[in-house]
């Protein structure tokens, strides 16, 4: 037990360092019950316990690192629920993250579509091959060039949900909040980070930090759970000089509502349920602020899904899973939409444009009556 | 028949998407919760009884062994496909077909997760009570195949006490039904009960009819804390003698308390033993009276402290972790693997204190650290130790140690090797010790159902395994 405490605390950089933890997997199957990928695919090799067995064999040198092994290890949405389901404290998620890095370093990972996506991100600064200069086409108001606060919009909102970008900007403007947006904004690097592209992500981080510094900002606000998690968790790991205060837009909104700078009105009774993005929730610990914002809207009733907060179900879109396995990813999202429907809610709100993309596809496919909102859109709709 | 031919035959039955011979996939199916490993020749996922029947017809004609598998949470290797067997993963047959509160039955497919079934049953005010440690993950089919039970077997019985009827596919592909949805039957041999606990050696379940039980209205959790482990054992025996029947009575020793505390924010006192006692029923007053009886018994034995938990969330957390104790113990065993051979024996309730003491003494002689916990109220104790399975000397030692302990449990105390985990492959080397000549009768029964011996042939000692082979099976991969 003492040994275990020491082992747990020790810094681990390679799969070899996880030798004991890999052997500690009890094959109990607790992890597979909540693993979104297993619940869709239903083959043992994609369960965290299956992956632990495969990796144990890799570490022991009993099996070759074949493309089949690599594919299994990258069959993961990085939802991180396996870490909390594992009572033996194997921390399967941490092991998988290390394995992805090691495989990528060896040139065996990520999966081909993921690799293409990473290259696109480097070339275009976004995953969509969109021109850099069109990133803020939707921005129709002036913002100061310099401010203490940098509003980082993120690729998905910038290129796919311009209306939400506008909503975020309008809310801050109406609140009289001083902020800037940099026209040089580029991808945060989340996708390559989870693909195990450590050096590439570190280069992206360094370049972004330089861009951020030019704005004079000390604080970064973002409405994207993925970007938030990348800044909060990945950048400090990859570079030494990420010293910005980091705020998720929901947290800022809550402050502005509390300060009376954003005043809300009732537009009629509305039942809302909230989807916790894995990267805002389990990865970053932000659960309360989005809920408090929703609950502060007059006439809005927040109803929780069966699985919420730490226990929330994944939408299926994270960790490059949507890139490599788009069909499975949407099917996972369909389950989440069904769960949301069961609450009787009129509206499903999320704080992550990546989740939104996937949930949106699922809603359309299911012909669901649910309306899907980003938190910013919901708040704007209820602005006094 | 080579692997590719087997693949093609299975693909013709279940479709290409539901069969695999991919070596990475097969490796992931090579484990259960025991120390044993066996790589199947192929894995198939049938969706209905007809497909199961076709698979068993093909396997029988070609003399290919078959192992049915639920969630693979077994502790004795019974859900592994040894000797190039086909593994049938029942994951796609996971529907709750009917919950009928008037008849008090539930009809399910074998791949239904126990925890999910109970969640549904509770919506109707009912439950399926055996409650194994793997409750959140194990399947009902696996529970029936194994005659699983758990903390609430003390009052409510094991799985066998709740199975009313089965639909079973026999080797060769014949589909039969046993029992039905009646609660009682004196009509001929009770084949339903024969199938329960048969570890996949007689056929594959495709439908299960369960008796359901009203969920208790009130529960209370009492945790007496004792300085010495022996006091805990004595208290458990005396509580049973006092005439009350708790819904659960578990014991944890000092090692188990330590690992449980590693996962708890609000720690339990470190002590020689803690009992987890649950009382349940329809009347709060009766539960209060029974709690008083428990208190009086424990005080006579010199209890150090009694923790009474009325907070359902705290009780739920403690029971969840108690369920997961086997997993938590990984923090003690580290890279070593648990010895499964004597980990779920049972002896007559009055003999528990002596038997546990003696097994602990044997463990000490072999210099094995031994955690002891379990369903003390019904005489079922889990005693766990671990070895480095890659070291042939330690494997030899584990076999010797297990044999010595098994002899004490069976011969001296009249106990059984397995109260709930099954014999599987892990304990098969010692089954003759328990059943003697009647094992031959069991082999005869198997021959009636499975003349070509294709159904999970390596478990329960039904096929004689050379001793060297047994050691080999405790292998590493």
CATH architecture, range B330-473: 2-Layer Sandwich (3.30)
How high is the mean pLDDT of chain B? 93
Question: Quick check: B258 pLDDT over 70?
Answer: yes
Q: What is the separation of C-alpha B265 from the centre of its chain, rounded to a whole number of angstroms?
A: 29
**Residue B387 in contact with partner chain A when CB distance is under 8 A:** no
Q: Kindly state the average pLDDT of the residues B17-31.
A: 97
Contact assignment for B334 to A28 by CB distance below 8 Å: no
Assign domain A113-254 one CATH number from 3.40.50.720, 3.40.50.1860, 2.160.10.10, 3.30.1360.200: 3.40.50.1860
Q: Which residues is A382 bridged to in the sheet?
A: none
CA-CA distance, B139 to A13, in Å (whole number)? 37
In this prediction, residue B107 has a pLDDT band, given cuts at 50, 70 and 90, of: very high
Q: Kindly state the average pLDDT of the residues B119-124.
A: 97
Of B33, B113, B331, the CB nearest to A27: B33
Q: Kindly state the average pLDDT of the residues B172-184.
A: 97
Q: Are B92 and B44 in contact (CB under 8 A)?
A: no
Q: What is the pLDDT of residues B387-416, one digit of tens each?
A: 888 888 888 888 888 889 999 999 999 999
Of B43, B72, B262, the CB nearest to A1: B262
Look at residue B339 in the predicted model and tell me its pLDDT: 81
CA-CA distance, A183 to A136, in Å (whole number)? 7
Distance from the Cα of A29 to chain B's closest Cα (Å) equals 6
Q: Which residues of B touch A23 (CB under 8 A)?
A: 334-337
End-to-end CA distance of chain B: 25
- Secondary-structure breakdown of chain B: helix, strand, coil percentages, each rounded to the nearest 5: 40, 20, 40
In this predicted model, which residue has the larger pLDDT, B35 or A102? A102
- The Cα-based distances of A367 to A13, A327, A374 in angstroms read 46, 17, 19
Contact assignment for A24 to B330 by CB distance below 8 Å: yes
- Structure-block tokens of residue B14: 């279940």
Question: Quick check: B83 pLDDT over 70?
Answer: yes
Contact assignment for B28 to A50 by CB distance below 8 Å: yes
Lowest-confidence region among A168-172, B23-27, B124-128, B265-269: B265-269
CA-CA distance, A229 to A116, in Å (whole number)? 22
Distance from the Cα of A285 to chain B's closest Cα (Å) equals 18
C-beta atoms surrounding B60 within 10 Å: 21
C-beta atoms surrounding A193 within 10 Å: 30
Look at residue B467 in the predicted model and tell me its pLDDT: 57
Q: Kindly state the average pLDDT of the residues B175-195.
A: 97
Look at residue B475 in the predicted model and tell me its pLDDT: 44
At the topology level, CATH places domain B218-320 in: Alpha-Beta Plaits (3.30.70)
In this predicted model, which residue has the larger pLDDT, B313 or A382? A382
- Give the largest CA-CA distance in chain A: 65
In degrees, rounded to 5, the angle at the alpha carbon of residue B324 between the alpha carbons of residues B319 and B329 is 130
Look at residue B368 in the predicted model and tell me its pLDDT: 83
Residues 6+ apart with CB under 8 A from B129: B152, B155, B156, B157, B162, B213
Instruction: Please state which CATH number belongs to domain A264-381.
Output: 3.40.50
Question: Is A113-254 in the same CATH topology as A2-105?
Answer: no
Of B24, B136, B326, the CB nearest to A26: B326
CA-CA distance, B436 to B410, in Å (whole number)? 11
Angle between helical axes of A249-258 and A288-295 (0-180°, round to 10): 40
Only one residue has tokens 């309306």, namely A371
Look at residue A113 in the predicted model and tell me its pLDDT: 97
Of B92, B263, B335, the CB nearest to A19: B335
| Residue of A127, A248, A247, A238 lying closest to A193 (CA atoms) | A238
Q: Kindly state the average pLDDT of the residues A80-100.
A: 96
Question: Is B330-473 in the same CATH topology as B218-320?
Answer: yes
Contact assignment for B24 to A45 by CB distance below 8 Å: yes
- Structure-block tokens of residue A180: 């800037």
C-beta atoms surrounding A178 within 10 Å: 13
Coil/strand/helix, residue B336: coil
Task: Report the residue of chain B nearest A39, measured CA to CA.
Answer: B91
**Whole-structure pTM value:** 0.95
In degrees, rounded to 5, the angle at the alpha carbon of residue A92 between the alpha carbons of residues B77 and B341 is 20
Question: Quick check: B305 pLDDT over 80?
Answer: yes
Could you tell me the sign of the dihedral formed by the alpha carbons of A96, A101, A102, A107, in that order?
positive
Question: Quick check: A196 pLDDT over 80?
Answer: yes
In degrees, rounded to 5, the angle at the alpha carbon of residue A54 between the alpha carbons of residues B80 and B83 is 30
Q: What is the pLDDT of residues A14-64, one digit of tens each?
A: 999 999 999 999 999 999 999 999 999 999 999 999 999 999 999 999 999
Task: Report the residue of chain B nearest A32, measured CA to CA.
Answer: B137
Coil/strand/helix, residue B315: helix
Q: Are strands B213-214 and B86-89 parallel, antiparallel or unpaired?
A: unpaired
Contact assignment for A4 to B321 by CB distance below 8 Å: no
Assign domain A2-105 one CATH number from 1.10.10.10, 3.40.50.12780, 3.40.50.300, 1.10.1060.10: 1.10.1060.10
Q: What is the pLDDT of residues A179-189, one digit of tens each?
A: 999 999 999 99
In this prediction, residue B3 has a pLDDT band, given cuts at 50, 70 and 90, of: very high
- Structure-block tokens of residue A193: 């980070």
Question: Quick check: A73 pLDDT over 90?
Answer: yes
- The Cα-based distances of A207 to A189, A222, A239, B385 in angstroms read 11, 18, 11, 54
Q: Are strands A347-350 and A270-275 parallel, antiparallel or unpaired?
A: parallel
DSSP state of A86: -
Contact assignment for A57 to B477 by CB distance below 8 Å: yes
End-to-end CA distance of chain A: 58
Question: Quick check: B426 pLDDT over 90?
Answer: no
Look at residue B342 in the predicted model and tell me its pLDDT: 78
Coil/strand/helix, residue A149: strand
Q: Which residues of B touch A99 (CB under 8 A)?
A: none
Q: Kindly state the average pLDDT of the residues A236-255.
A: 97
CA-CA distance, A308 to A275, in Å (whole number)? 7
Lowest-confidence region among B34-38, B96-100, B234-238: B34-38
Q: In A150-197, which ranges are continuous DSSP H helix?
A: 155-160, 162-174, 190-194
CA-CA distance, B268 to B260, in Å (whole number)? 8
Task: Report the residue of chain A nearest B91, measured CA to CA.
Answer: A42
Listing DSSP states for B73-132 in one string gives --SSSTTS-TTTPEEEEGGG---EEEEETTTTEEEE-TT-BHHHHHHHHHHTTEE-TT--
Q: What is the pLDDT of residues B210-240, one digit of tens each?
A: 999 999 999 999 999 999 999 999 999 999 9
Task: Report the residue of chain B nearest A71, measured CA to CA.
Answer: B24
Q: How much of chain A exceeds pLDDT 90, in percent?
A: 97
Residues 6+ apart with CB under 8 A from B382: B326, B343, B344, B371, B372, B373, B374
CATH architecture, range B93-214: 2-Layer Sandwich (3.30)
| Residue of B114, B74, B122 lying closest to B96 (CA atoms) | B114
CA-CA distance, A334 to A340, in Å (whole number)? 10
Could you tell me the sign of the dihedral formed by the alpha carbons of B224, B225, B226, B231, in that order?
positive
Look at residue B472 in the predicted model and tell me its pLDDT: 47
| Residue of A257, A260, A203 lying closest to A375 (CA atoms) | A257
Taking phi first (over 0 means left), then psi (-120 to 50 degrees means alpha), and beta for anything else, what does residue B448 get? alpha
Look at residue B477 in the predicted model and tell me its pLDDT: 41
Coil/strand/helix, residue B451: coil
Look at residue A212 in the predicted model and tell me its pLDDT: 97
Question: Quick check: B469 pLDDT over 70?
Answer: no
Task: Map out the domains of chain B as residue ranges.
Answer: 3-91, 93-214, 218-320, 330-473
- Secondary-structure breakdown of chain A: helix, strand, coil percentages, each rounded to the nearest 5: 55, 10, 40
| Residue of A15, A58, A52 lying closest to A32 (CA atoms) | A52
Task: Map out the domains of chain A as residue ranges.
Answer: 2-105, 113-254, 264-381
How high is the mean pLDDT of chain A? 96
Q: How much of chain A exceeds pLDDT 70, in percent?
A: 100
Q: How much of chain B exceeds pLDDT 70, in percent?
A: 97
Residues 6+ apart with CB under 8 A from B85: B38, B40, B41, B64, B65, B66, B67, B456
How high is the ipTM of this complex?
Answer: 0.94
Coil/strand/helix, residue B54: helix
Look at residue B468 in the predicted model and tell me its pLDDT: 52
Look at residue B476 in the predicted model and tell me its pLDDT: 39
At the topology level, CATH places domain B3-91 in: 3.30.43
Question: Quick check: B26 pLDDT over 60?
Answer: yes
| Residue of A145, A147, A132, A146 lying closest to A185 (CA atoms) | A132
- Structure-block tokens of residue B40: 């199947």
Dihedral over alpha carbons B438, B442, B447, B449 (to 10 degrees) = 150
């Amino acid at each position: 037990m003492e040994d275990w405490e020491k082992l747990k605390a020790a810094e681990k950089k390679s799969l070899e360092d996880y030798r004991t933890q890999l052997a500690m997997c009890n094959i109990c199957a607790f992890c597979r019950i909540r693993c979104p990928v297993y619940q869709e695919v239903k083959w043992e090799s994609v369960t965290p316990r299956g992956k632990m067995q495969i990796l144990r064999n890799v570490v022991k040198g009993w099996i070759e690192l074949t493309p089949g092994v690599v594919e299994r290890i990258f069959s993961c949405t990085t939802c991180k629920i396996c870490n909390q389901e594992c009572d033996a404290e194997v921390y399967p998620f941490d092991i998988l993250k290390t394995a992805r890095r090691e495989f990528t370093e060896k040139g065996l990972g990520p999966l081909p579509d993921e690799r293409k996506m990473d290259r696109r991100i480097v070339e275009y600064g976004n995953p969509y091959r969109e021109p850099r200069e069109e990133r803020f086409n939707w921005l129709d108001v002036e913002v100061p060039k310099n401010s203490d606060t940098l509003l980082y919009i993120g690729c998905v909102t910038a290129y796919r949900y311009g209306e939400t970008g506008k909503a975020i900007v309008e809310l801050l403007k109406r609140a009289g909040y001083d902020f800037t947006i940099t026209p040089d904004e580029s991808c945060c690097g989340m996708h390559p980070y989870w693909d195990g592209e450590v050096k590439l992500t570190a280069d992206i981080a360094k370049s972004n930090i330089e861009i951020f510094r030019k704005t004079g900002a000390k604080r970064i606000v973002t409405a994207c759970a993925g970007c938030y998690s990348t800044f909060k968790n990945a950048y400090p790991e990859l570079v030494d000089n990420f010293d910005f205060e980091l705020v998720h837009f929901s947290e800022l909104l809550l402050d502005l509502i509390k300060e009376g700078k954003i005043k809300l009105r009732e537009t009629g009774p509305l039942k809302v349920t909230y989807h916790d993005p894995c990267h805002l929730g389990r990865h970053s610990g932000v659960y309360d602020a989005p809920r408090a914002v929703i609950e502060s809207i007059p006439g809005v009733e927040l109803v929780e899904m069966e699985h919420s907060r730490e226990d929330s179900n994944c939408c299926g879109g994270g960790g490059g899973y949507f890139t490599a396995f788009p069909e499975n990813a949407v099917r996972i999202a369909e389950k989440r939409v069904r769960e949301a429907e069961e609450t009787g809610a009129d509206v499903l709100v999320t704080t992550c444009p990546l989740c939104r993309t996937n949930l949106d596809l699922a809603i359309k496919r299911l012909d669901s009556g649910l309306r899907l909102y980003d938190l910013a859109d919901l708040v704007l709709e209820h602005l006094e | 028949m080579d692997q590719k031919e087997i693949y093609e035959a299975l693909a013709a039955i279940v479709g290409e998407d539901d069969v695999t011979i991919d070596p990475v996939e097969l490796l992931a199916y090579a484990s259960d919760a025991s120390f044993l490993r066996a790589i199947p020749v192929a894995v198939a996922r049938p969706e209905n009884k007809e497909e199961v029947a076709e698979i068993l017809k093909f396997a029988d004609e070609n003399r290919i062994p078959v192992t049915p598998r639920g969630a693979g949470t077994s502790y004795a290797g019974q859900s592994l496909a040894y000797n190039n067997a086909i593994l049938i993963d029942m994951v796609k047959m996971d529907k709750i077909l009917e919950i009928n509160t008037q008849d008090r039955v539930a009809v399910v497919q074998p791949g239904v997760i126990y925890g999910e079934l109970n969640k549904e049953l509770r919506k109707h005010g009912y439950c399926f009570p055996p409650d194994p440690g793997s409750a959140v993950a194990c399947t009902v089919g696996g529970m029936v195949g194994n005659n699983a039970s758990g903390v609430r077997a003390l009052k409510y019985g094991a799985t066998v006490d709740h199975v009313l009827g089965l639909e079973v596919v026999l080797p060769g592909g014949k589909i039969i039904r046993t029992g039905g949805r009646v609660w009682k039957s004196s009509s001929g041999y009770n084949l339903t009960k024969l199938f329960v606990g048969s570890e996949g050696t007689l056929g594959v379940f495709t439908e299960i009819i369960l008796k359901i039980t009203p969920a208790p209205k009130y529960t209370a959790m009492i945790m007496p804390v004792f300085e010495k482990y022996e006091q805990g054992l004595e208290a458990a025996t005396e509580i049973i003698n006092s005439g009350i029947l708790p819904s659960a009575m578990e014991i944890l020793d000092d090692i188990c308390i330590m690992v449980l505390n590693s996962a708890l924010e609000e720690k339990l006192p470190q002590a020689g033993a803690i009992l987890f006692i649950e009382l349940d029923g329809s009347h709060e007053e009766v539960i209060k009276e029974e709690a008083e009886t428990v208190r009086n018994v424990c005080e006579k034995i010199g209890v150090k402290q009694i923790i009474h938990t009325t907070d359902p969330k705290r009780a739920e957390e403690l029971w969840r972790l108690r369920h997961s104790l086997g997993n938590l113990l990984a923090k003690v065993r580290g890279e070593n693997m648990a010895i499964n051979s004597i980990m779920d024996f049972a002896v007559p309730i009055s003999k528990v204190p002596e038997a546990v003491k003696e097994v602990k003494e044997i463990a000490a002689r072999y210099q094995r650290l031994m955690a002891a916990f379990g369903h003390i109220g019904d005489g079922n104790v889990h005693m766990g130790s671990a070895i480095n399975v890659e070291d042939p000397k330690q494997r030899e030692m584990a076999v010797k140690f297990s044999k010595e302990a098994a002899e004490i449990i069976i011969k001296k105390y009249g106990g059984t090797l397995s109260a709930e985990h099954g014999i599987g492959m892990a304990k098969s080397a010692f089954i003759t010790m328990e059943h003697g000549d009647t094992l031959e009768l069991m082999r005869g029964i198997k021959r009636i159902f499975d003349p070509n011996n294709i159904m999970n042939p390596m478990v329960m000692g039904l096929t004689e395994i050379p001793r060297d082979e047994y050691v080999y099976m405790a292998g590493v991969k």
